[in-house]
Every structure is written in C-alpha cells, then in structure tokens.
Amino acid sequence: MTKAERAEFVHRRLAELYPETPIPLDHRDAFTLLVAVLLSAQCTDERVNKVTPGLFALADTPQRMQDIPVEEIQAAIRSCGLAPRKARAISELSRLLVENHEGEVPDSLAALEALPGVGHKTASVVISQAFGVPAFPVDTHIHRLAQRWKLASGKNVADTEQSLKKLFPEESWNQVHLRIIFYGRQHCTARGCDGMICEICRTLFHGRKSPVRTKKA
C-alpha cells in the first residue's frame, strides 16, 4: 500500500470501529474543557474526570476561579500530578481570560497559546472540540501509531501533525484524532502491540517481520 492508501484504510476502519467520538474529558463548556485538558498533561483522562467535579464545585468560570486561592486549587487537583504548576496556571489563565477576553475562552490558537500552561496541543484540543475549528492535536498515542502505520516519520510532534493533516480530509480531523486515540488506548497500545499485533498493523503490514521502534513525542 502507498501512504495515501494506508491513510484511507485507517480512516475507513476507524470510522467503522468508532462511529461516535465523545470527548473523553468531562466538561460543560469551553472553560471547563480548557481546564480539564490542561490537567490531563502527564495524567490519565480517568484521573482528571475524578478530580474535576471537586475543582468545579469550587469554581467553574474564570470569574470565580480567579478568586480561589492557588493553594485551594492545588489541593483539589493534587492527585493529577504537577499540581503546583497546574494550579498556578489555572489561576493565572482565569485572571487573564477575565482581563483580556471578557471572561470568555478565545477561539484562536494564538490567543489560547498565550495563556499560562496552554501549549499547542491543549489549544488545538480546545478549538477543535469546543469551537469545531479543524485541528489535529497530537498526543503520545497518535505520535506512536502514525509511526507504526508509516504515516509520519516520528521526527517530532509538529512533523507528525503536519503529515497527518496532509493525509486526512480537513473536515475529518476533529473526529480522526479522537479515533486514533481510542484505537491506541484499546488495541495498539505502547506495550500490547509492536507494529505487528493489532488488526490495523497486521492489515497494513502483513509481511512485517520485526517490531517497530517508535520515537517518543
């Protein structure tokens, strides 16, 4: 198969496996999604979903969150890891949303990336899932599978993002990135598949003889 043919197969098969693409992080609006995605760095979605109800009981808007002491935010998110840094970021970005954006989460990558604790991946998730803007956030699962399926070189996350954007239709980016994550968690895991075990790896590379060594994100 050519790279384009592999991408077409992946696109079709993932749509069959995951016709629905619910966002794994529980949230109510753009702000609670932004905070949840920020918390998910080096933390599982399951853990974030256990933490956010308590945090959002304290405050679930920028206006309220900016008034919560950082120490209280940190206590609420302690089990997520990197709690001191994340607590400061949540407090400061809430203040900046109120001061610079009338308390609303902006719908542009540049404005989101200017907020504390918000990198390119977090910003991409928010604009895609909260505002429907086409984006292709790349996490560790996507970075790993893109290499196993020879859709990207694995040189770095930015290169993987650009490669996948070229291979998949823009109108599908918001669904495809979630579908790859779902598949990577369930079937093509870091230890459970080495590029020769899961269904898609076996279909794309039925003659593959040796494990694929992937570069980390």
d(CA 181, CA 186): 9
Whether the CB-CB separation of 201 and 149 falls below 8 Å is answered with yes
Residue 139 appears among annotated catalytic residues: yes
CA angle in degrees (0–180, nearest 5) for 165-145-173: 30
**Catalytic residue, candidates 139, 150, 165, 194:** 139
DSSP 8-state code for residue 89? H
d(CA 62, CA 103): 6
- What token pair was written down for 77? 């998110």
Q: What is the 3-state secondary structure (H, E, C) of 169-190?
A: CHHHHHHHHHHHHHHHHHCCCC
d(CA 170, CA 138): 15
Residues annotated as part of the active site: 121, 139
